[in-house]
Amino acid sequence: MADLILKNCKTIENKIVNIIIEEGRIKEIKKELLPSEKNSDKIIDIKEKTIIPGLIDPHVHLRDPGLTHKEDWTSGSKAAAHGGYTTIIDMPNTKPLTDTLKSFKEKKEIALKKSYVDFALHAGVKTRKDVQEILDEKPAAYKIFMDLHENEELFEMFKYVSETKKPLCLHCEDRNIVNYNIKTLSENPENENKTIMYSYARSALAELISVNRAIEYAKQLDLQLHLCHISTRQTLELIHEAKNKINVSIEATPHHIFLDNSTYETYGIKAKTNPPLRDKNYNICINLLNEFDSIGTDHAPHTLEEKLKDTWSSAAGIPGLETCLPLLLTEVNNNNLSLNEVVRLTSYNPSKIFKIPNKGQIKEGFDADITVIDMKKEGKFNTETFYTQGKYTPFENRQYHGCNIMTINRGNITCEENEVIKNESKYVF
């Protein structure tokens, strides 16, 4: 007996199908329902709205444990469900850092109790012993913030991860360049309230050099790289030259796709993020998305008190879970992007890159992770409707055309018409 039947679903190929869901999995996809199925009391009429695989975000910062005044697993995973996501992968820079077996297991237990969506965890890199111990807990990948370490230390950390055969996620900015530029530019008091100077302090060159170093290390160590939030065209060209030499995937973020550093003049310090929004001479844009492998929101909320400081001391980070999909669907409606590309970047590829089983496709035998979208629905982003604790976005009041209207995680409705519903989450590995 079916747990749930979704009828009159429009696929991205414009076919109308019915989906039979049992025990959280897609049992059958078919054109016609049986008479017994038509009378089921567990049937939802999708009314020929489009369905896509539940979104997978490989890059979120839910701040839990240790920084829950910014976000926690409850508020952050609610934001995920509200945004059409059914799986999220959390980064390790919480308190404590998720770089030991003890801290990794503790975070997993917290998430299992609080999360509204399925999840995985990236692990930090501390010692070889810690890296190997965490491996038993099945991290999605390991993560290194290259701007926090000297080059000699980085090579050893890369080596530890190479021994696990797991992907290595990287925040690529050169420590020496960033530190020198910040020191130099912050000496001028006029720059204290010129947020645009932050984009020159953490320069495009700092990203380019850091990525080049990562590529060279990966060649030596036979390491799979996932390069987070690549923000410049020049870096993108460098990575593509290396793609036939190493196993590397490239992530874009919504804010680097849709904004440049002129946003600092209009929205101010709240748009500060790492890496920063780029000058138009360097920034990526929507027509380059076909060169990327995935989209991660880099959802990184802070309190407004932490954001509303000067150029150098304001916290860096932008919430993104509740704005990403409508931004992308708007570009589909504007004929700048295909729905197939949206699925490739937000579901199919993330599941492949991180080897997440039974997710990323609407397919018989796979988890019933489905996001229902209404390509005709229009509105404006309003932070009062957000579930994240980070009640700010540089996209506030921006018009969107197309958005998600229902999120289904393993056959359970987790969000319908902006109302989030509790679901028993699972660790996906």
pLDDT for residue 177 is more than 80: yes
Is position 365 within any domain? Answer: no
Domain shared by 66 and 124, yes or no? yes
User: Which of 27, 45, 63 is where one domain is finished?
Assistant: 45
**pLDDT for the residue 365:** 98
Average pLDDT over residues 68-92: 98
The mean pLDDT of 408-423, rounded to a whole number, is 96
Burial class of residue 92, CB neighbours in 10 A (0-12, 13-18, 19+): buried
> Is 298 marked active-site?
yes
Is residue 420 domain-resident?
no
Determine the Cα angle at 409 with ends 85 and 89, to 5°. 45
pLDDT of residue 2: 77
Interval 32-76: pLDDT, tens: 999 888 887 799 999 999 999 999 999 999 999 999 999 999 999
Both 15 and 161 in a single domain? Answer: no
- 28 and 97 share a domain? no
Q: List phi, psi (to 5°) of 15.
A: -100, 145
For the chain, give the mean pLDDT: 97
Whether 34 and 69 map to the same domain: the answer is no
- 285 within a domain of the structure (yes/no): yes
Q: Is residue 319 part of a domain?
A: yes
Give me the domain span that covers residue 206. 54-357+375-400
Express each pLDDT in 339-368 by its tens digit: 999 999 999 999 999 999 999 999 999 999
**Per-position DSSP letters for 44-101, written without gaps between them:** EE-TT-EEEEPEEEEEE---TTT-TTT--HHHHHHHHHHTTEEEEEE-S-SSS-S-SH
Cα angle 79-83-85, degrees, rounded to a multiple of 5: 95
Residue 424 within a domain: no
**Catalytic one of 90, 260, 298, 367:** 298
Number of neighbouring beta carbons within 10 Å of residue 50: 19
**Residues 288-320: tens digit of each pLDDT:** 999 999 999 999 999 999 999 999 999 999 999
> Residue 55 pairs with which residues in a beta bridge?
85
Q: What is the pLDDT of residues 104-144, one digit of tens each?
A: 999 999 999 999 999 999 999 999 999 999 999 999 999 99
Same domain, 36 and 114: no
Q: Looking at the structure, do residues 59 and 41 belong to the same domain, yes or no?
A: no
d(C-alpha 202, C-alpha 104), whole Å: 30
Out of 40-44, 83-87, 124-128, 371-375, which region has the weakest mean confidence (pLDDT)? 40-44
Question: Do residues 82 and 61 share a domain?
Answer: yes
| 25 and 152 both lie in a single domain | no
Q: Judge whether 414 lies within some domain.
A: no
- The token duo for 10 is 């429009």
Sign of CA dihedral 130, 132, 138, 140: positive
Domain count, the chain: 2
pLDDT digits (tens, 9 = 90+) for 197-221: 999 999 999 999 999 999 999 999 9
- The structure tokens listed for 240 are 């593509």
What's the pLDDT tens digit per position in 392-404?
A: 999 999 999 999 9
Is residue 335 situated within a structural domain?
yes
Residues 175, 103 share a domain = yes
What confidence score (pLDDT) does residue 383 get?
Answer: 97
Query: What pLDDT is recorded for position 41?
Result: 78
Ramachandran quadrant class, 301 (left: phi over 0; alpha: psi -120 to 50; beta: rest): beta
pLDDT for the residue numbered 404: 98
User: What pTM did the predictor assign?
Assistant: 0.97
pLDDT of residue 37: 85
Question: Averaged over 254-268, what is the pLDDT?
Answer: 96
In-domain check, residue 315:
yes
Residues 158 and 225 in one domain: yes
Q: What is the CATH number of the domain that holds 380?
A: 3.20.20.140
Q: What percent of the chain has pLDDT over 90?
A: 97
Q: Which residues pair with 154 in a beta bridge?
A: none
Which pLDDT score, from 0 to 100, does residue 1 have?
Answer: 56
Q: Does residue 267 share a domain with residue 188? A: yes
Q: Are residues 151 and 95 in the same domain?
A: yes
Residues 6+ away with beta carbon under 8 Å from 98: 90, 92, 104, 107, 121, 122, 123, 124
Nearest alpha carbon to residue 370 among 339, 403, 421, 408 = 408
